[in-house]
């Protein structure tokens, strides 16, 4: 069995086609000792968006749904929320307004619902929610909605001495609660949006307290900035699905030497969801137009993935 | 040869004594399968201060000396610096004033001398300086002044499946220029103070530009905050030398299970420098008093280190 055959066997949920071929060829090129495009292991860094790239993001970002549940749970203690946006919209299930306020509105909700919590309390709250909440369409825990082909891709890259990072617009401490368990990605390999935390003594114990103050938005132009801050080196491969990932792919593929960019197109309304240019979550417009001319691989979920979820 | 003998042999520059013994015993306990204090590899995280812990910091923090050199080099273009502090102090070699302005003053100098540079230009400037500048006492490149016993300790921990991180009060992008080469610590394993960077297009190229705006001070209470932000998990071992590391050691050793804290006491004026409570760089006062009662290992450079530098 040839090496390339063995390698493509590590991606059983990918149909044979241009997308799978481009992945296997890229990995083959950068790992071939003495080859023109060889990249030493220390530089084999691959970055992945999370929402819509590693797990689903419809009907809305799961962290958004988590925060909405928190608003509902805490509303009795905050009667003023009934008349204050964006809280009002959550309590009235007014998705149109929520979408209009965008990521900054979500961050505001998040800060309000978690202000004053320690990092440990926050982690417990997220884990409790993940253990109990169900996805409205699939009637399963959100953590079941990870993409099987992407799990195989992560493992395939790691077998080839890549280090895999998540670069998410979502909250860094939210994603870290499940990244190791779901993806085998350690907390230190998760980059995301963040609020400020403060070191203090509480009831005689040292704790880190989450403050209602924005620290960093890891989306659009923020993604290359976050990558530079946390990784300090330009990755050679980037995987995303929305225009929020555009600058990350742009930054990664503008480097010298072999580079790889990939965008997942959610075009499978039957097995998952079909959405792109007009979506409220994971809008993909510019990326769809520019992927071909920039040499980025465009994945059709419908055609390229044999299987979407492990439970299928 | 017993396992513990083999392990202590990995620390040839450490004299036999309480300090070396405490290190080897701790590593033995957390790596012993089935033992009461066993820690799985994913949680074996060790954090190291840089200045005064991995390399020297006298007569002043090396990054400070670098910044002073930059101020001198750029002064002709900034006639106003002659009359503005803290620039004036640099140009007049007035260390007393420079020490009084502290870390925040250093950061101000740093921002002024590097504002508008891309991250790549900054990296080149630092590398050029490291390649040419000489330490005033040792007449050698600053990069020669790394502590041989600490290099052995880093390697020893990694052999035992620890992941080693730097948590420095110094600039994250400064330390990253040499961390892999000097210590085998990848850029993503370096945490430090930072200024804000911005993603932009310059002369048709995508670049990250360093802005004259403070992002984060990774010192004192900032160290646990930085650890939480970058690593997202509490380390089990912390190594420092000054009161700037106090909260880091406090945070790390307050966790449950086996924990290890170590402070290096610079008491060797002959081979290196002797300083502690009254030092302008790397002041060690509270740590010296509290190390014994907190169970932290206190290393006497003079007694515990067979060799300080590799060039000896």
User: What pLDDT does B101 receive?
Assistant: 84
Mean pLDDT score, A91-105: 87
**What count of CB pairs under 8 Å joins A to B?**
82
Are the CB atoms for A224 and A167 separated by under 8 Å? no
- Helix runs in B11-80, H state only: 18-31, 62-74
Judging contacts by C-beta atoms under 8 Å, the chain B residues touching residue A230 are 188, 230
Mean pLDDT of chain A: 94
Give B82's DSSP letter.
Answer: G
- Mutation site, A166, A229, A233, interface B, largest B CB count within 10 A: A229
Within 8 A by CB and 6+ apart from B247, the residues are A199, B220, B221, B223, B224
What's the pLDDT score for residue A247?
Answer: 98
- Spatial distance between the Cα atoms of B159 and B166, rounded to a whole number of angstroms: 17
Bridge partner residues of B208 (DSSP): B199
CB contact under 8 A, B197 and A225: yes
Task: Indicate the range of A34-38, A113-117, A254-258, B266-270 predicted with least confidence.
Answer: A113-117
pLDDT confidence of A25, banded at 50, 70, 90?
very high
CA distance A215 to chain B (A): 9
Q: In whole angstroms, give the CA distance from residue A165 to residue A227.
A: 9
Task: Report the alpha-carbon distance of residue B185 to residue A234 in Å, rounded.
Answer: 16
Percent of chain B scored above 70 by pLDDT? 97
Q: Which chain A residue has the Cα nearest residue B209?
A: A225
Give the predicted TM-score (pTM) of the model.
0.95
Pairwise CA distance, residues A150 & B242, whole Å: 45
Q: How many CB atoms lie within 10 A of CB A133?
A: 15
Interface test with A, best of B121, B188, B233 (most A CBs within 10 A): B188
pLDDT of residue A185: 98
Residue A235: asked if its preceding bond is cis (omega within 30°), the reply is: no
* Mean pLDDT for the stretch of residues B144-160: 98
Q: Is B208 in contact with A190 (Cβ distance < 8 A)? A: no
CA closest to B45 among chain A residues: A188
Does the pLDDT of residue B66 top 60, yes or no? yes
- Per residue in A254-291, pLDDT (tens digit) is 999 999 999 999 999 999 999 999 998 899 999 999 99
Of B224, B252, B227, the closest CA to residue B238 belongs to: B252
Specify the pLDDT at position A6. Answer: 64
Q: What is the ipTM of this complex?
A: 0.94
C-alpha to C-alpha distances, B162 to A136, B31, B185, nearest whole angstrom: 42, 10, 12
Which residue in A96, A74, A64 sits closest to A168, CA to CA? A64
- Interchain pair B199, A221: CB under 8 A: yes
Three-state DSSP at A90 gives: helix
> Which residue stretches of A169-211 are H helix?
172-176, 179-183
Q: What is the pLDDT of residues B74-101, one digit of tens each?
A: 999 999 999 999 999 999 999 889 888 8
- For residues B9 and A20, the model is more confident at A20
- At residue A1, the pLDDT reads 43
Give the residue from A42, A199, A235 with the most B CB atoms within 10 Å of its CB, the best one to mutate.
A199
Q: Which among B50, B211, B182 has a CA at the least distance from the CA of B122?
A: B211
Burial of B83 by CB count in 10 Å (0-12 exposed, 13-18 middle, 19+ buried)?
A: exposed
B172-227 pLDDT, tens per residue?
Answer: 999 999 999 999 999 999 999 999 999 999 998 999 999 989 999 999 999 999 99
d(CA B70, CA A249): 34
Per-residue pLDDT at A3 exceeds 70: no
Instruction: Note the pLDDT of residue B56.
Output: 98
Helix axes B222-230, B246-253, angle to 10 degrees: 60
Of B198, A229, A245, B201, the residue nearest A237 (C-alpha): A245
Sheet holding A260-265, edge to edge: A205-216, A190-202, A163-171, A45-48, A237-240, A260-265, A297-300
Contacts of B76 (CB under 8 A, 6+ apart): none
Instruction: Say what the pLDDT of residue A269 is.
Output: 97
pLDDT of A158 above 50: yes
Q: Which residues of B touch A (CB under 8 A)?
A: 42, 119, 163, 165, 172-173, 176, 180, 186-190, 194, 197-199, 205-206, 208, 215, 221-222, 224-225, 228-233, 247, 250-251, 254
Read off the pLDDT band of B286 (50, 70, 90).
Answer: very high
pLDDT band, residue A63 (cuts 50/70/90): very high
Contact B168, B55 (CB under 8 A): no
Which of B173, B224, B231 is facing A208, going by the closest CB pair? B224
Half-sphere exposure of A312 (CA within 13 A, CB side): 15
């Amino acid at each position: 069995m040839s090496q390339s055959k063995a390698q493509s066997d590590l991606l059983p949920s990918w149909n044979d086609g241009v997308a799978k071929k481009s992945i296997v060829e890229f990995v083959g090129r950068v790992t071939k000792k003495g080859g023109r495009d060889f990249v030493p292991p220390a530089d084999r860094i691959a970055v992945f968006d999370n929402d819509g790239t590693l797990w689903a993001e419809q009907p809305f970002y799961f962290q958004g749904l988590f925060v909405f549940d928190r608003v509902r749970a805490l509303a009795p203690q905050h009667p003023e929320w009934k008349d204050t946006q964006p809280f009002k919209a959550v309590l009235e299930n007014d998705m149109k307004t929520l979408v209009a306020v965008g990521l900054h509105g979500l961050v505001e909700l998040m800060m309000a619902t978690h202000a004053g919590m320690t990092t440990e309390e926050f982690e417990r709250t997220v884990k409790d929610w993940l253990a109990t909440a169900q996805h409205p369409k699939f009637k399963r825990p959100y953590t079941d909605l990870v993409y099987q082909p992407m799990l195989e891709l992560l493992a395939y890259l790691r077998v080839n001495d890549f280090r895999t990072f998540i670069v998410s617009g979502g909250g860094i401490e939210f994603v870290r609660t499940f990244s190791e368990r779901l993806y085998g990605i350690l907390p230190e390999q998760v980059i995301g949006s963040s609020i400020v935390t403060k070191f203090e003594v509480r009831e005689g114990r040292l704790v880190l307290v989450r403050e209602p103050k924005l620290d960093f938005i890891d989306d659009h132009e923020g993604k290359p900035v976050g990558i530079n801050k946390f990784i300090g080196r330009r990755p050679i491969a980037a995987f995303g699905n929305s225009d929020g990932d555009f600058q990350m792919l742009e930054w990664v593929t503008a480097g010298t030497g072999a580079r790889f960019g990939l965008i997942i197109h959610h075009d499978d309304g039957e097995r998952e969801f079909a959405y792109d240019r007009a979506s409220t979550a994971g809008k993909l417009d510019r990326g769809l137009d520019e992927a071909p001319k920039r040499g980025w691989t465009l994945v059709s979920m419908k055609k390229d993935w044999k299987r979407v979820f492990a439970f299928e």
